[in-house]
């Protein structure tokens, strides 16, 4: 008679292999599921970054347009103030001196100091 300690039931071996295969398949499925979830999360984050970059670009372009408009308006306003100040100063100045200055009839810079 054979000893029972060395005897293995063939049905137990098949059952153990089936359990191992089922465990491996379950692990593989879980691993695939985790990888798919991480990939989906990464793709979502990448799309969100692209959307944020596009939104930021739109804000910067809009701000640049507003800045250009502001500086253009400021330049026009300062030009108007400069012209008004020039007209005011010419209206109170001695017409003879302004004509001589405009025509360049003054001899040199020392003649400007008439104090």
Of all residues in the chain, what percent carry a pLDDT higher than 90?
44
98-114 mean pLDDT: 64
H helix intervals, 93-113: 95-103
Model confidence over 44-98: pLDDT tens digits? Answer: 999 999 999 999 999 999 999 999 999 999 999 999 999 988 888 877 877 777 7
Region of 15 please: left (phi>0), alpha (psi -120 to 50) or beta: alpha
Q: Cβ of 101: how many Cβ atoms within 10 Å?
A: 13
Q: What is the mean pLDDT of the chain?
A: 81
pTM of the shown model = 0.45
The Cα 79–Cα 72 span in angstroms is 11
The Cα 101–Cα 104 span in angstroms is 5
Cβ-based neighbours of 98, under 8 Å, separated by 6 or more: 90
Confidence of residue 115 (pLDDT cuts 50, 70, 90): very low
């Amino acid at each position: 008679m054979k000893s029972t300690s060395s005897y293995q039931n063939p049905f137990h071996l098949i059952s153990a292999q089936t359990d191992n295969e089922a465990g491996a398949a379950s692990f593989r499925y879980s691993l695939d599921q985790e990888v798919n979830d991480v990939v989906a999360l990464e793709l979502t984050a990448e799309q969100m970054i692209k959307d944020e970059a596009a939104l930021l670009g739109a804000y910067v372009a809009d701000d640049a347009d507003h800045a250009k408009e502001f500086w253009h308006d400021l330049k026009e306003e300062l030009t108007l103030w400069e012209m008004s100040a020039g007209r005011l100063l010419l209206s109170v100045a001695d017409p003879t001196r302004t004509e001589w200055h405009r025509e360049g009839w003054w001899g040199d810079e020392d003649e400007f100091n008439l104090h």
